[in-house]
Amino acid sequence: MRRSVNRLALLAAASSLIASPAAADTLREALSEAYRTNPTLQAARANQRATDEFVPLEKSAGRPNIGATATHVEFLKRSSNSFTAPERTLSVSADLGVPIYSGGAVKNGVRAAKVRVDAGQANLRATESAIFSQVVAAYMDVIRNQAIVGLTANQVNVLSVNLQATSDRFEIGDLTRTDIAQSQSRLALAESDLRTAQSNLIGAREFYIQLVGEAPDNLQPPPPLPALPATAAEAVDTALEYNPDLIAARENAKAADIDIKVTRANRLPTVSLFAGTDYNNFYGTLGGPSAVQFSQSETTGSAGVQISIPIFQGGRPAALERQAQAIASAALEQEIAAERDAIAQVRAAYASWQASSAIIESSQSAVAAAELSLEGTRAENTVGSRTILDILNAEQELLNARVQLVTARRNAYVAGFSLLAAMGRAEARDLGLGDETLLYDPQVNFDRVKGKWSDWDNDPAPVAVSTRTIDVPAPDAAIEQTEDSPNR
């Protein structure tokens, strides 16, 4: 009951991502755009549709098979001892085969295929949440790097003013060349940091374009994350039930176990019904000079039951079963590996989220203290109790504290979303990215194809859905200054 309540609370909180103020819509738009046009996600959906087809493929082995053959033969040289051989003939045959019993190969093959469809759908969910996690990280990277560019640009401006003031005081003999050199050194380092920050911002914007397909434009602060679990153990319990990678591994292990039963059918008899008809036409050439005495066309028909009993196949059935057993053993180990991975991801993401949240609080205190320290250092410098180097150090400490704060905010948000993804709670439905009718449901395609019989029921020619980014202009390191920019 407690787990159900927690699950409902988590889903209700997830809906708040959509009900946030308009300023928070940008992250939702980025996730929605990636959901519609990301090539990795689109390719995963296409691969899942290919996996769906294994079910009708396996079913086809148990369905009737009808074939027809037409053959025209010209006898260029006939036996000299045959006086009635025809000069040419047309043969037409039609055959019907109906498998009755195949040792369970068809039944178990269909079962294994259906289980692999379930595994593929879980893998598709994992791909979806992985893309969303990357989009969130890229979104937050752009915001963080914009803030760092603003902070370092502001630092360059401040140090430029400091250098000018130091030079003026040097001219009147109030300071020494050492003070000027220290100011010049800090300014040069700040300019280098600005170039690095600008390069990082361009890289973050490029990665955003790669994932979303559009350039980031005035990204708004992200909305609050859905309610996260109170303990790591609670998060692990949710992940063990809903983590898509773990679900896929479990389903693959089930399918591999069914494959063993498929291989055992190679030792069992098979039973099938058959029926056929043959038509021959000799074009009036049968019988030579006595052709009028012979019928120049004939039709025959047959039907029966065929039983095939394997006696000895050179050890092939046993080898196939041993191979399937080994593959099933590997699948069981992979299931445990997926479980370990899910637990490790959840615990690591939970610890990272908690640590980043704590760092935010300490960084806020550090920024406030550094601002007060810088103000006091400047005041004390005017009365001669502090040096220019003290001011430069105080300014650098304030910059470092502000950078640590924006980085901690980014890390906390990304870690929180990664925790949701590891728990299996970071997919389009969980985040409310659209109406149910607009979301991609892989079950729809499976239901469409699972019972098809026709040999001519094809889909339209493949067309790429993802958007290309070749026409998206290369991003630069320009940032939009606002009243609440971090460097103000």
For residues 272 and 101, what is the distance between their CA atoms, to the nearest angstrom? 7
**174: exposed, middle or buried (Cβ count in 10 Å: 0-12, 13-18, 19+):** exposed
Structure tokens that stand for 331 in this block: 């699948």
Structure tokens that stand for 232 in this block: 């790591």
Predicted confidence pLDDT, tens digits, the chain (488 residues)? 334 334 333 333 333 333 333 333 479 999 999 999 999 999 999 999 999 999 999 999 999 999 999 999 998 887 777 777 888 999 999 999 999 999 999 999 999 999 999 999 999 999 999 999 999 999 999 999 999 999 999 999 998 988 888 888 888 877 788 888 988 999 999 999 999 999 999 999 999 999 999 999 889 999 999 889 999 999 999 999 999 999 999 999 999 999 999 999 999 999 999 999 999 998 888 877 666 778 888 999 999 999 999 999 999 999 999 999 999 999 999 999 999 999 999 999 999 999 999 999 999 999 999 999 999 998 998 888 888 888 888 999 999 999 999 999 999 999 999 999 999 999 998 888 877 778 999 999 999 999 999 999 999 999 999 999 999 999 988 876 544 444 43
Side-chain-facing half-sphere of 300: CA atoms under 13 Å: 7
Residue 366's nearest CA partner among 326, 338, 394, 346 is: 394
**444: exposed, middle or buried (Cβ count in 10 Å: 0-12, 13-18, 19+):** exposed
Q: Look at residue 76 in the predicted model and tell me its pLDDT.
A: 87
Residue 150 to residues 342, 401, 402, 474: CA-CA distances in angstroms? 38, 14, 11, 20
Q: Look at residue 322 in the predicted model and tell me its pLDDT.
A: 97
Name every residue whose Cβ is closer than 8 Å to that of residue 349 and which is 6 or more positions away in sequence.
415, 416, 418, 419, 422
Strands 88-101 and 65-74: antiparallel
